[in-house]
Amino acid sequence: MTKLKQKTIFFTLLVTLLAFMLIAVPGIAGQSTQTQETETTVEETAAFPPETIIASFGEFTITLEDLNLTWDTVPAEYKAQLSKSNVLDQMISEKLLIQDAKSKDLVNDEKVAKQIDDMTNQILVQALIEQEVLNKASVTDEEAEEYYKNNLEEFTEKEQVHLFNILAETEENANIILEALNSGEDFSEVAKEKSIGPSAEQGGDLGYISKGSIIPEIEDIVFSLEIGAITDIVKTDYGFHVLKITDKKPQTLKSFEEVKNSIVEMLLPEKQKAAFDALLEGLKSKVSIEINEEALQ
């Protein structure tokens, strides 16, 4: 990569970071927009107290705490290519741009004022929802436990078997396979060599299969099979099977403590929606809303 290209990429990264800061990082009210950096680098100021001033411009200042707070908001993919000095420079640039915009009275521009008003309203609504909905809606232990008791099937792991399968196209081929297995040949090796099923490369290994997840003519047989035993030939719509299981797991019910957090996470959105609906209904009940139905046609 040429030096020019490297510089272009780095410049683009800094511009992107500045845009990110202007959108996502709160400004430092009443603080600096320019710096008089000393020979000590920004990275070295980590040993200084948070109130240490690291940049100043006229009556404004940027402290180490301000920089660290901003640095914490920078996406990890940017941090890999930037230093805190870069971020400080972007903070300064941000304040310079804001100051220049204010000096040109853009804050009173009709279009800009409308955008500022819209953004202010969004922030107010978000703050209200956080205060009245997100911070107040919660799922109690009693509610979570009641859901658990009423929906035990959701937390029950069905019986499982570790299933191996050899699939043959014809019954004749299946008989040849069964004879090889009964003579002591390794099931997985025979599966790799002679099975036409998709699990052939894995030695016929289908992994753990839960009860109720496979076709009945196979399920009834394998779930009654002893560990290590091999079935007779089983015919299905897919062909002719020879099956084996190597392990069984009984049906188990997860304890409430194991699933409590997941239940709370599942029920919480519903509680939040109810709180939000109640908030809106309460606000609507306090005013008389008139709607021009004709204009809506």
Nearest in space to 173 (alpha carbons), one of 152, 149, 197, 138: 197
Query: What residues does each domain of the chain span?
Result: 3-104, 157-252
pLDDT tens per residue across span 237-253: 999 999 999 999 999 99
Specify the pLDDT at position 188: 95
Q: For 57-61, 140-144, 156-160, 178-182, which range has the lowest pLDDT when averaged over its residues?
A: 57-61
Specify the pLDDT at position 38: 37
Specify the pLDDT at position 28: 35
**What letter represents residue 231's amino acid?**
T
Tell me the pLDDT band of 182, cut-offs 50, 70 and 90.
very high
Overall average pLDDT of the 18-22 stretch:
57
Query: Which comes out higher in pLDDT, residue 22 or 267?
Result: 267
* Residue labelled with tokens 């436990």: 145
Overall average pLDDT of the 10-14 stretch:
50
Specify the pLDDT at position 13: 53
Domain 157-252 has CATH 3.10.50.40: yes
Residue 39 has pLDDT above 50, yes or no: no
Overall average pLDDT of the 44-58 stretch:
76
Please tell me the distance from the alpha carbon of residue 167 to that of residue 173, in angstroms, as a whole number.
9
Non-local (6+) Cβ contacts of 86 within 8 A are: 14, 17
Overall average pLDDT of the 152-175 stretch:
94
Residue 167 has pLDDT above 50, yes or no: yes
Specify the pLDDT at position 91: 85
Residue 165 has pLDDT above 70, yes or no: yes
Q: Which of 19-28, 247-256, 287-296 has the highest mean pLDDT?
A: 247-256
Average pLDDT, the chain: 85
Non-local (6+) Cβ contacts of 244 within 8 A are: 163, 164, 187, 204, 225, 228, 229, 230, 231
CA distances from 260 to 65, 249, 256 (A): 39, 23, 6
Overall average pLDDT of the 187-197 stretch:
94
Residue 7 has pLDDT above 50, yes or no: no
Please tell me the distance from the alpha carbon of residue 210 to that of residue 270, in angstroms, as a whole number.
31
Specify the pLDDT at position 248: 94
Residue pair 138/271 in contact by the 8 Å Cβ criterion:
yes
Specify the pLDDT at position 74: 85
Which pTM value belongs to this model?
0.58
Residue 286 has pLDDT above 90, yes or no: yes
Percent of the chain with pLDDT over 90: 60
Specify the pLDDT at position 128: 96
Query: Which comes out higher in pLDDT, residue 202 or 59?
Result: 202
Please tell me the distance from the alpha carbon of residue 146 to that of residue 143, in angstroms, as a whole number.
5
